[in-house]
Amino acid sequence: MELGKRKELILSAIVESFIESGEPIGSKMLMQLLPISVSSATIRNEMSELAEMGFLEQPHTSAGRIPTQAGYRYYVDNLMNKNQLDEEERRHIKNELSMSVGNPDKLLEKAGEMLAKLTGCAAVATTPTDEGAVIKHIEIMPVGTRIAMIVMMTSSGIIKNGICKTETEITSDMVDTFYDIVNENFIGRPVSDVGTVMIQTLVASLGVHALTMSPLFVVLADIANQALQAQIRLEGEQNLLHHREYGSSIYDVMKFFDEKDKLERAISQKKDMPLQVIIGKENMYRQLENSSVIISRYSIGGHDGGAIGIIGPTRLDYRKLIPSIEYLTSVVGEILTDTLEE
C-alpha cells in the first residue's frame, strides 16, 4: 500500500516525534514539525484517514496520535532515512572489538556487551556453526603428567577445546603419535564427519596405540560435536526493565529469554537476508508481540556465520540503531575472517 506524499510526511513526523518523546502528537504540534504548510484541519483529516488505514491509533479520546505496529512497518520500509555513523563512532566500535581478535567466543561476547550499551536494549548473538566447515588445526597441550588440553580450530574460525585425562603418562612420543594420526585422519576433514562411528573405526585400526590414544580422540569427537552446535549469547536483558512501554508484559519477555532454543529460532529466520527488522506481532512468538527484533547477519570468509542484533520495544530509534548494528556486525565478520586466514 502506498500513501500520498502528504500522508507520508505526516506519518514520518509522528513516528519520529513519538520515538523521541514517547508522547502522542496532535495536529498543532504537527504543523510545526512538517516541512510543508498545511492547515490544522487538513492535518486532522489526514490523521483520521491514517488511523482508519491502521497506521495510527489514539491512546485516549482527547489525546493525539501514536504509530501502530503497521505504522512503524511502513516507516521502516518506505520513509526512514538511516543516520550515518561518523568516523569517531566507527573507530570506537572497531577498537573495542579488536581487543578480542583471535578469540571468536570472546569477540561475540564483547559485541553483545557493546550493542546492549549502545542501544539500551537486550543484545543477542549466535556463534558460527560448522556445518560444511573442515578441521584446520588441532593441538594437544599437556597440562599435567596425565592431563592434556586438546584445541581444535575449524575453517569457519571456531575454536573449541576440551580436557582429557589419560590412564598412562603423556610422553613426547605419545604427543608425536597423536599429531601423526591427526594429520593423516583429521586435518582437512569435514567437522561433521568426526563422530562416534568414525572414532571407533579409527581406534580399532591403531593397534598397540589404541589404549593410549582412545581417550584423546573421544574428547576430540566431543569438541567437534560442540562446534556443530550454534550457541546463543544474550547481554543486557535488564535494559528492558527501563522501557515503560512493556508494562506487565516485561515478565513474559524476561521469561522468554530463558528459553534459549526458542530465542535462537526467533533470530535465525531467513538466513538469506543480511538485515531483518521484525516488528511486534510479526515475531513468531507471542512473548515478543510488543517487541521489535533487529537482526544483522555476519559472514566469515564469504560464508554465512551467524546473527547479531537487539530486542527492544517497538518504539525504537530505527534510523539510528540500524546503522550501528550493521556496522558492528560487519566488523565482527571482518575480524573472524582475518582470524581464519592467519
pLDDT digits (tens, 9 = 90+) for 76-119: 999 999 898 999 999 999 999 998 887 777 889 999 999 999 99
Residue 260 grid coordinates: 534459549
Q: Does the structure show a pLDDT above 70 at 130?
A: no
Would you place residue 195 in the very low, low, confident or very high pLDDT band (cuts 50, 70, 90)? confident
pLDDT confidence of residue 304: 78
User: Looking at residues 239-262, what average pLDDT do you find?
Assistant: 92
Which residue in this structure is represented by grid cell 529469554?
257
pLDDT confidence of residue 323: 95
Category of 4 on φ-ψ map: left (φ > 0), alpha (ψ -120 to 50) or beta: beta
Average pLDDT over the chain, rounded to an integer: 90
> 309: which strand partners?
124, 295
Query: Which CATH number is associated with domain 87-128+230-341?
Result: 3.30.450.40
How many whole angstroms separate alpha carbon 226 and alpha carbon 123? 23
pLDDT confidence of residue 87: 93
Q: Does the structure show a pLDDT above 80 at 270?
A: no
Domain regions of the chain by residue span: 5-79, 87-128+230-341, 135-227
Cβ atoms < 10 Å from Cβ of 131: 14
- Specify whether the CB–CB gap between 104 and 157 falls below 8 A: yes
User: Looking at residues 219-248, what average pLDDT do you find?
Assistant: 90
Query: Which CATH number is associated with domain 135-227?
Result: 3.30.390.10
Q: Does the structure show a pLDDT above 80 at 129?
A: no
Would you place residue 341 in the very low, low, confident or very high pLDDT band (cuts 50, 70, 90)? low
E strands present in 49-100? 56-57, 66-67
Residue 199 grid coordinates: 572414532
pLDDT confidence of residue 218: 93
pLDDT confidence of residue 106: 86
- Specify whether the CB–CB gap between 148 and 164 falls below 8 A: yes
pLDDT confidence of residue 36: 85
Could you report the per-residue pLDDT of 25-52, keeping only the tens digit for each?
998 899 888 888 888 899 999 999 999 9
User: Looking at residues 147-158, what average pLDDT do you find?
Assistant: 87
User: For residue 133, how far is the Cα from the chain centroid?
Assistant: 20
Selected from 3.40.50.720, 3.40.50.1100, 3.30.1490.190, 1.10.10.10, the CATH number assigned to the domain covering 5-79 reads: 1.10.10.10
Could you report the per-residue pLDDT of 168-183, keeping only the tens digit for each?
899 999 999 999 999 9
Q: Does the structure show a pLDDT above 90 at 131?
A: no
Q: How many CA atoms lie within 13 A of 252 on its CB side?
A: 11
Could you report the per-residue pLDDT of 290-318, keeping only the tens digit for each?
999 999 999 887 777 889 999 999 999 99
* pTM score, whole prediction: 0.80
